[in-house]
Amino acid sequence: MPASRIPHRYDVPVTRIRILPDNLVNRIAAGEVVERPSSVVKELVENSLDAGATRILIELANGGRSLIRVTDDGCGMDADDALIALERHATSKIASPDDLDRIATLGFRGEALPSIAAVSRFELLTSADPAVGGVRITVEGGRILGTEPAARARGTTIEIRDLFFNVPARRKFLRAPETELRHASETVWGAALSRPDVGFILRHGNRTSLDAPPATDLSERLRALWPRAAKITRFSAAGGGAEIEGLIAPGSGNGRPSMTFLVNGRAVRDRLLVGAVLRVVRSAGAGFGGARVVVSLRLPPDLVDVNVHPAKTEVRFARGGAIFALVERALREGVAASQGRVPVHRLDDGDAMASEPGVGGYGELLRSRREAGAAPLFEHPAYGDSPPPSPDPVLVDLPSAPRTGAKAPST
């Protein structure tokens, strides 16, 4: 063993977190990640997921304006790493420019913690190894006020009080607590749907507004998030290298549907996807006002760019038109199935919801129709060797899909 090797008291590498070099920093979409309480919730929850948490507790007060606390049972940080994590562009998740092209973690910019700590009263309590002990770091408006040893089970708790206390111009733009809470819960919904295997609890004041224990699949998770859904129908489709798994639960009333989009497991906002869903749901008729739609899209990383928006909530598709068409045809089938107009595996059907892609839903429907000599449903020329699309007589009359490359209707 070389004499220079310094034995370390921790099991983990001495410095897992490093400061990114400037040339790499400049290639990352720049911008502020902290807009409102929901953006803080998003960043903290993503960090917890990246840390391998199996349970995440999110506590808010006053819509997150006065308190946001996120507690996880992830890998935690040792004292050295905890301090480094608070520096700008400190991340344990990427090291070289090449890594940018294959981002596997939710975070990678090393901006969230310092940005949040700069505009709040911030406390980080973390421990990587309870036998060694944890650390508590207190920061106010970006200034470190204190560091002290503190006991804690493995994991991390980050507490943010008085968001924007030192930036009145920003604070002024915060909305009523109910509005901020709504945004924050949408964020937690997105995270919870993206990771059914992780338990999520959201508390506001002393009310538990969401309690989703670890689940085995998306359907079970949606059921926990939305117990009042009468019926949840699963749909799926694949083509052009992309795969879709989705859920639709009809609503009551005539409101806009609530939509959650996951792209390679990441919850995103995307006008193209919203456009595709609205196009189908609006023509679906009664029962779909206020519906809940979840669309989970998987595609090769080189066909989607997540490094577009500082908060990583937007993506860019290499083949937007094809994705639009795929989502549209998958959801059409989901709506039709939900209306009982085609053979359907419903969540309530017992066996239903086999979690394997291609079982039930679109794949099975397609197979059974092929066997019966029927024209394929929703085949699209963009997806290779399939015959040209033929309108399916069972389905409602829908406007035709936009051509590949066409712009999605704005919302």
Task: Compare residues 54 and 258 and give the one whose CB is closer to ligand ADP.
Answer: 54
Beta bridge partners of 143: 140
251 binds ligand ADP (CB under 6 A): no
Parallel, antiparallel, or unpaired for β 155-161 and 67-72? antiparallel
Q: Cα–Cα distance between 244 and 262 in angstroms, integer?
A: 10
74 binds ligand ADP (CB under 6 A): yes
Residue 92 binding partner per list Mg ion, ligand ADP, none, with a CB distance cut-off of 5 to 8 Å that depends on partner kind: ligand ADP
Please report, as residue ranges, which positions from 272 to 301 form the binding site for ligand ADP (by CB under 6 A). Answer: none
116 CB-side CA count, 13 A: 29
Contact 345, 399 (CB under 8 A): no
Task: Compare residues 51 and 191 and give the one whose CB is closer to ligand ADP.
Answer: 51
Task: Compare residues 82 and 212 and give the one whose CB is closer to ligand ADP.
Answer: 82
112 binds Mg ion (CB under 5 A): yes
Q: Cα–Cα distance between 378 and 389 in angstroms, integer?
A: 6
Please report, as residue ranges, which positions from 150 to 209 form the binding site for ligand ADP (by CB under 6 A). Answer: 156
Q: Given candidates 41, 56, 68, 75, which one binds ligand ADP under the rule CB under 6 A?
A: 75
Q: Cα–Cα distance between 312 and 42 in angstroms, integer?
A: 10
Q: Cα–Cα distance between 206 and 194 in angstroms, integer?
A: 26
Tokens matching residue 116 = 């949040």
Torsion of CA 33, 36, 37, 43, to 10 degrees: -10
How far apart are CB 21 and ligand ADP at their closest, in Å? Answer: 15
Instruction: Count interface residues toward ligand ADP (CB under 6 A).
Output: 23
Q: Cα–Cα distance between 81 and 91 in angstroms, integer?
A: 10
Q: Given candidates 37, 63, 64, 76, which one binds ligand ADP under the rule CB under 6 A?
A: 76
Phi, psi (deg, nearest 5) at residue 410: -80, 165
What is the pattern of x (binds ligand ADP, CB under 6 A) and - over residues 77-116? Answer: x-------x----xxxx-------------xxxxxxx---
Task: Compare residues 110 and 334 and give the one whose CB is closer to Mg ion.
Answer: 110
Q: Given candidates 39, 47, 71, 156, which one binds Mg ion under the rule CB under 5 A?
A: 47
Task: Compare residues 194 and 338 and give the one whose CB is closer to ligand ADP.
Answer: 194
Contact 287, 250 (CB under 8 A): yes
262 binds ligand ADP (CB under 6 A): no
- How many helical (H) and strand (E) elements, i.e. helices and strands, does the chain have? 10, 17
- The secondary structure of residue 97, as a DSSP letter, is G
Q: What is the 3-state composition of the chain as percent helix, strand, coil, each rounded to the nearest 5?
A: 30, 25, 45
Contact 223, 229 (CB under 8 A): yes
How far apart are CB 168 and Mg ion at their closest, in Å? Answer: 26
Q: Which stretch binds Mg ion (CB under 5 A): 42-50, 207-215, 250-258, 324-332?
A: 42-50
SS3 49: helix
Q: Which stretch binds ligand ADP (CB under 6 A): 44-52, 218-226, 293-301, 384-392?
A: 44-52
Contact 56, 158 (CB under 8 A): no
All residues at 6 or more sequence positions from 22 whose CB lies less than 8 Å from its CB, including other chains? none
58 binds ligand ADP (CB under 6 A): no
41 binds ligand ADP (CB under 6 A): no
Task: Compare residues 40 and 249 and give the one whose CB is closer to ligand ADP.
Answer: 40
Q: How far, CA to CA in Å, does 360 sit from each of 59, 100, 121, 255?
A: 38, 36, 50, 30
Q: How far, CA to CA in Å, does 340 sit from each of 60, 111, 156, 333, 385?
A: 41, 48, 47, 10, 29
Task: Compare residues 73 and 333 and give the one whose CB is closer to ligand ADP.
Answer: 73
Residue 109 binding partner per list Mg ion, ligand ADP, none, with a CB distance cut-off of 5 to 8 Å that depends on partner kind: ligand ADP
Q: Which stretch binds ligand ADP (CB under 6 A): 42-50, 185-193, 223-231, 308-316?
A: 42-50
SS3 401: coil
What is the pattern of x (binds ligand ADP, CB under 6 A) and - over residues 118-157? Answer: --------------------------------------x-
Tokens matching residue 245 = 């798994």
Tell me which residues touch Mg ion (CB under 5 A).
47, 107, 112
| Binding stretches for ligand ADP (CB under 6 A) | 17, 43, 47-48, 51, 72, 74-77, 85, 90-93, 107-113, 156
